[in-house]
Amino acid sequence: MGADGRKAIFITGAASGIGLAAAKRFSKEGWFVGLADIDAAGLKAALGALGAGNVSVHKLDVRDRAAWKKELAAFGKASGGRMDALLNNAGVAHFGYFEDQTDDEADRQVDINIKGVINGARAGLELLKATPGSTLINVASCAGLFGAPKMAVYSATKFAVKGLSEALDIEYARHGVAVRCIMPWFVDTPILNAGSQGSNENITDSIRQSGSEVYTVEEASDVIWRSLHGKDLHWVVGKAGKRMRFAARFMPGSVRKQLKGLTQA
């Protein structure tokens, strides 16, 4: 079913968490939504919640370049040849000391969090260029503001997404495509339960110990929505994230001392 001239967004990691919340928000705003994920059951549930006339469904592993091309072609056909926004949201985390994480866990984070975003930015450019006023939205993290202990590889991937977004913001302006980088603080998603094979501890345990705030997926999706209507490149989710951004810039020594406390658990 076509999008009947409606604005259209393609969202990765759309079966749960921030991706699903964003899909609901954009659908509510009258957009046609491409739901992309590797979770077939989650996609089926999302389809049921949003309605077949409002979405197209795409089984997509963001590491697969050929699958990106295939699914974006299908989305373009369903959306009437437009993609007003591409939300690179899919991501994974493994929590634990660097030496306790396996090679496979490290590779998985790099492959999905960095390579997956690069694949989307490259594969999506054709449709973005064909849609006046379009935007590439990459989800990074406040872990990309200052390296977080027990999240070393994850932090590295989010620094990379932030850097990629900053570079593409300049490059893609040549094509009339805007770029936004979303940096959430801790958000209540399945990723908070991520641990590693070498540890029973997860991100939730660390948050509980530090007394940090946790924000809702709806708050994150609201920031994503607002980013399309503003001019800033970087968009932080949560007051705690904004405090971290300020401190990382002006008081890095204090941030480093605070984060060291998390390694005493």
* Residues tagged active-site: 154
Q: What share of the chain is helix, strand, coil (3-state, %, to 5)?
A: 55, 15, 30
230 contacts: CB under 8 Å, gap ≥ 6:
none
Q: What are phi and psi of 152, to 5 degrees?
A: -60, -50
Judge whether 83 and 8 are in contact, CB under 8 Å.
yes
Look-up of token digits 């509510």: 28
Q: Which two tokens stand for residue 140?
A: 């990074």
Judge whether 111 and 65 are in contact, CB under 8 Å.
no
Judge whether 164 and 155 are in contact, CB under 8 Å.
no
- Which residue intervals of the chain are DSSP H helices? 17-28, 40-50, 65-78, 103-109, 116-123, 125-129, 152-171, 203-210, 217-227, 239-250, 252-260
Q: Which of 7, 6, 21 is nearest to 222 (CA)?
A: 21
Report the length, in residues, of the chain.
265
Q: Which of 113, 133, 183, 175 is nearest to 8 (CA)?
A: 133
